[in-house]
Amino acid sequence: MEPVQTPGGTTVLVGKNRNPLAVLFFSVITFGIYWLYWYYTVNDEVRRHEPEVACSPGVALLAQFVPIANFVSHYNTATRIQRMELADGASQTISPLVTFLLLYFLIIGYVVQIQSHLNAHWDSHRLAIVRAERQGLLGARPAALTRAQGAEMPSERRLGEAPVQQP
Ligand SMILES: [Zn+2]
């Protein structure tokens, strides 16, 4: 996980973006080993990103080997992502029921739904700080961002200058 600064000045840990189809591909060629790794990791990412969301990745992993408990865990993973999204005021959240049904009618849908919601959430955090920087909401700019925006600076300054008075 990588630390990302928030516009409020704090730092949050955001997870890794993954291609859902790559997750499926690796799960198939490793006969499910990668699935277990992915399932543990996404739960761990949610737990570390949003400590308010109660989550035990180890229990979620163990539940994969217990009939019925695995169904409950699959549903709960989606509800944890929904709580994480709601905690940040997201207007559109994952639907745990739809996600759960997707797992049993079409496994592909579950991975796509879970991983694409996570990808969008991690990106929203990365973009929030970039947007705040652009709008000049922050006083101290990190050196990397100042360099990256160097090309835009002259035009911003020109906009602030008083217009030349024409006679
Ligand atoms: Zn968040």
Ligand 1 centroid–CA 115 distance in Å is: 14
Q: How many domains does the chain have?
A: 1
Ligand 1 centroid–CA 54 distance in Å is: 14
Domain annotation covers residue 82: yes
Quick one: average pLDDT of 9-15? 94
Domain annotation covers residue 94: yes
Domain annotation covers residue 34: yes
Distance between CA 13 and CA 5 in Å, rounded?
9
What pLDDT does 112 receive? 87
Residue 157 has pLDDT above 50, yes or no: no
Cβ burial, residue 4 (10 Å; 0-12/13-18/19+): middle
Q: What is the pTM of this model?
A: 0.73
Ligand 1 centroid–CA 4 distance in Å is: 10
Domain annotation covers residue 164: no
> What mean pLDDT value characterizes the chain?
84
Domain annotation covers residue 6: yes
- Predicted confidence (pLDDT) per residue in 37-89, tens digit: 999 999 999 999 999 999 999 999 999 999 999 999 999 999 999 999 999 98
Domain coverage including residue 127: 2-156
DSSP letters along 10-67, please?
-EEEE-----HHHHHHHHHHTTTHHHHHHHHHHHHHHHHH-TTS---HHHHHHHTTST
